[in-house]
Amino acid sequence: MLREKALQFRRQGYNCSQCIVKAAGNIYGIPAPEQVLSACQGINAGLGIGYMCDILLAGVMVFGLLFDETSTKRLRIRLLSRFSEKHPQMDCCVLIKLRKDDTRCEGLIGETADLIEEIIAEEYRRRC
């Protein structure tokens, strides 16, 4: 579900981080005001220098909007660990070079949205 929404927003022109935050807002009922989406402009394209993939940063932001600080820190490590199991790098530029057929990062957005959704579901199940 998060994957489909995120890709829908990507196709509407939102950047990688914006589409994750906006999709999570829709699905989980998180108020994502324009200020949050505007803030995502600053982390786009690997912080503008091709550094850490901003899809991951957006995932951590979503955890922070849904959970307390302690949980967010724990979930952040889970996301980064699971991502690194599939991808040799978290660097935006390197990921783009490795995924030549995914220049708009739609495949990576979808994969990471699935990870984020899975981690959120695990956390909700843990709390029940």
| 42-62 pLDDT, tens digit each | 777 766 666 788 899 999 999
Q: 91 pairs with which residues across the strands?
A: 52
Q: Lowest mean pLDDT: which of 49-53, 78-82, 85-89?
A: 49-53
Confirm if 20 and 7 have CB atoms less than 8 A apart.
Answer: no
Q: Lowest mean pLDDT: which of 28-37, 50-59, 65-74?
A: 28-37
pTM: 0.91
Number of Cβ within a 10 Å radius of residue 104: 12
Alpha helices in the chain (DSSP H): 2-11, 16-28, 34-39, 44-45, 54-66, 69-86, 92-98, 106-127
Task: Estimate to the nearest angstrom the gap between the alpha carbon of 67 and the chain centroid.
Answer: 15
What type of residue is 126? R
Cα–Cα distance measured from residue 41 to residue 33, given in angstroms and rounded to the nearest whole number? 14
Cα–Cα distance measured from residue 23 to residue 16, given in angstroms and rounded to the nearest whole number? 11
Delimit the domains of the chain by residue range.
2-127
